[in-house]
């Protein structure tokens, strides 16, 4: 069953995602070699609580932290730890909050210092694949139109698409229907309607698409140890174009002055 949102509810979900967008910008500010992923987590949690929201992931199915911090060959769901970021790492930070009863859920992959051209290109293609997916989030299209657009862009760069993990509906639940895979066929799947809010979140690998789960029960890594990138927007399906509820503008402002 799809939970279609009213215009007022979409504004509340936007507020939640703007808070997440600002948290991600705080991360952009403090990410540097030597910073631990635990430190990022504690800054994020404090920021969320200072804004009268609560972490959306902490305790969700038992997840122990505010952020998912996934470095290099970690795809998603990395647990913040004493690991110190190193020059040349890439780190996906995925953050969820609950504000006014609605979830925000967005992610960005950051470079740590100077990264290799190969990693830079992987991040660019992943972000572009997200934007290609977003273009399809219009009323009358189907989920498969989004999925295929993401897949085509990622594969055109020579990359592979993680299949086991998917985007999702967003609202009072963190993971609502429908599932939004990053691969698929045009014209297939749930029909998109105005009022539907979804997270589109490509997880794109430099090498093989296969993944493995670590013994901590959470961290997902690439099977071949090659890097992976992850970007996530929450969007409301629109009549002519998607209404993007996440913004990277705060991140961009920090990164361009770094
Ligand atoms: Mg997320
Ligand atoms: Mg998500």
Beta bridge partners of 99: 102
The CA 104 to ligand 2 mean position distance, Å, reads 9
The CA 201 to ligand 2 mean position distance, Å, reads 6
Q: Choose among 36, 58, 61: nearest CA to 45.
A: 58
Q: Is residue 248 part of a domain?
A: yes
210-240 burial, b for 16+ CB within 10 Å, e for fewer?
Answer: ebeeeeeebbbbbeeebbbbbbbbbbbbbee
**pLDDT, average across residues 131-137:** 98
* Closest-approaching ligand to the CA atom of 63: 1
Q: Is residue 79 part of a domain?
A: yes
pLDDT at 143 > cutoff 90: yes
C-alpha distances (whole Å) from 59 to each of 56, 80, 127, 252 are: 8, 14, 29, 30
Q: Is residue 50 part of a domain?
A: yes
* Closest-approaching ligand to the CA atom of 198: 2
Contact (CB, 8 A) for 125 and 227:
no
Span 169-187, pLDDT tens digits: 999 999 999 999 999 999 9
Span 100-129, pLDDT tens digits: 999 999 999 999 999 999 999 999 999 999
The CA 195 to ligand 1 mean position distance, Å, reads 20
Q: Which residues contact 30 (CB under 8 A, 6 or more apart)?
A: 39, 40, 43
The span from the CA of 118 to the CA of 137, in Å, is 29
pLDDT at 1 > cutoff 90: no
The CA 116 to ligand 1 mean position distance, Å, reads 25
51: confidence class by pLDDT, cuts 50, 70, 90: very high
* Both tokens assigned to 71: 């470095």
* Both tokens assigned to 115: 């990264």
Q: Domain range holding 160?
A: 7-257
Query: What Rg do the C-alpha atoms of the chain give, in angstroms?
Result: 17
Q: Is residue 200 part of a domain?
A: yes
Res 258: pLDDT: 85
**pLDDT, average across residues 145-162:** 98
* Closest-approaching ligand to the CA atom of 174: 2
The CA 121 to ligand 2 mean position distance, Å, reads 23
Span 53-70, pLDDT tens digits: 999 999 999 999 999 999
**pLDDT, average across residues 22-27:** 98
The CA 231 to ligand 2 mean position distance, Å, reads 10
Which CATH number belongs to the domain containing residue 29 in this structure? 3.90.230.10
Q: Determine phi and psi for 126, rounding to 5 degrees.
A: -65, -45
Supply the mean pLDDT for the chain.
Answer: 98
Q: Is residue 1 part of a domain?
A: no
The CA 84 to ligand 1 mean position distance, Å, reads 22
The SS3 of residue 122 is helix
* Closest-approaching ligand to the CA atom of 180: 2
The CA 80 to ligand 1 mean position distance, Å, reads 15
Instruction: Please give the tally of structural domains in the chain.
Output: 1
Strands (E), the chain: 54-55, 67-71, 74-76, 90-99, 102-111, 160-161, 167-169, 176-180, 197-200, 203-205, 211-213, 220-222, 228-230, 233-236, 243-244
The CA 193 to ligand 1 mean position distance, Å, reads 22
* Closest-approaching ligand to the CA atom of 170: 2
Res 8: pLDDT: 98
Q: Is residue 2 part of a domain?
A: no
The CA 231 to ligand 1 mean position distance, Å, reads 8
Span 144-153, pLDDT tens digits: 999 999 999 9
Q: Is residue 194 part of a domain?
A: yes
What letter would DSSP give residue 5? P
């Amino acid at each position: 069953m799809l939970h279609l949102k009213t215009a007022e509810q979409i504004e509340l979900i936007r507020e939640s995602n703007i808070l997440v967008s600002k948290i991600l910008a705080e991360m952009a500010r403090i990410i540097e070699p030597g910073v631990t992923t635990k430190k990022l987590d504690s800054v994020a949690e404090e920021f969320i609580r200072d804004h009268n929201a609560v972490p959306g992931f902490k305790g969700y199915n038992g997840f122990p932290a505010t952020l998912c911090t996934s470095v290099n060959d970690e795809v998603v769901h990395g647990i913040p730890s004493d690991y110190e970021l190193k020059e040349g790492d890439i780190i996906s930070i995925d953050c969820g909050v609950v504000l006014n009863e609605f979830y925000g859920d967005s992610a960005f992959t950051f470079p740590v210092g100077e990264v290799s051209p190969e990693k830079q290109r992987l991040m660019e293609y992943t972000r572009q694949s997200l934007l290609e997916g977003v273009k399809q989030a219009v009323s009358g299209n189907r989920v498969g139109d989004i999925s295929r657009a993401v897949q085509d862009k990622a594969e055109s760069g020579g990359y592979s698409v993680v299949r086991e993990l998917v985007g999702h509906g967003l609202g009072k639940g963190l993971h609502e229907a429908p599932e939004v895979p990053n691969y698929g066929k045009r014209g297939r799947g749930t029909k998109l309607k105005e009022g539907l809010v979804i997270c589109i979140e490509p997880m794109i690998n430099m090498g093989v698409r296969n993944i493995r789960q670590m013994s901590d029960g959470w961290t997902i890594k690439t099977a071949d140890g090659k890097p992976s990138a992850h970007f996530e927007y929450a969007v409301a399906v629109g009549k002519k174009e998607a209404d993007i509820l996440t913004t990277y503008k705060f991140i961009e402002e920090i990164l361009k002055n770094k």
